[in-house]
Amino acid sequence: MIIHTRHPMLSIGQQAPDFTLLDDQGKPWNLAMHRGTKMVLYFYPKDFSYGCTKEVCSLRDNASIYTQNHITVVGISYDTHESHHAFKEAHHLAFTLVSDINKEDSKRYGADRSIIS
C-alpha cells in the first residue's frame, strides 16, 4: 500500500494557515484567536472509527502532559459538529473538535491523504 499526499506538507517553522471552522458546539473556532498558544493540531478521518477512537483516547489519557506544558489540543475531521459533540461526550474528551466538512483546510495542511493500493 502506498500513501500519496496531493498537497505539500507544511515546513518546519512555517506559520500554520489560519482557518475558521465550527467546533463541537456548533460555534466558529478560529486558529488566529489562538496565535502564540502551544498547540497539538491533529487531523483524523472519522469519529467513532476504530483507529481514530484509539488515537483520541490516547490524547485524552495523556491530557495531564499537555495541561502541565500549557498545550492546547484540537482535533479536526470531516465529520459534522453534531457528530463531534456525540464523539466528545461518548469518550469524555476535554478538548475541542472542529469540523472541516468541505476538506478545504485539511488540504491546505496536506492532511487530505488518499490511499492507493
C-beta of residue 19 within 8 angstroms of C-beta of residue 52: no
Q: Identify the residue whose cell numbers are 475541542.
A: 96
Q: Which of 21, 22, 31, 52 is catalytic?
A: 52
For residue 57, indicate whether it is catalytic: no
The amino acid at residue 112 is: D
3-state secondary structure of 45: coil
93 DSSP assignment: -
Please work out, in degrees rounded to the nearest 5, the angle formed at the alpha carbon of residue 48 by the alpha carbons of 43 and 51.
60
d(CA 88, CA 38): 22
Would you name the residues annotated as active-site residues?
Answer: 52
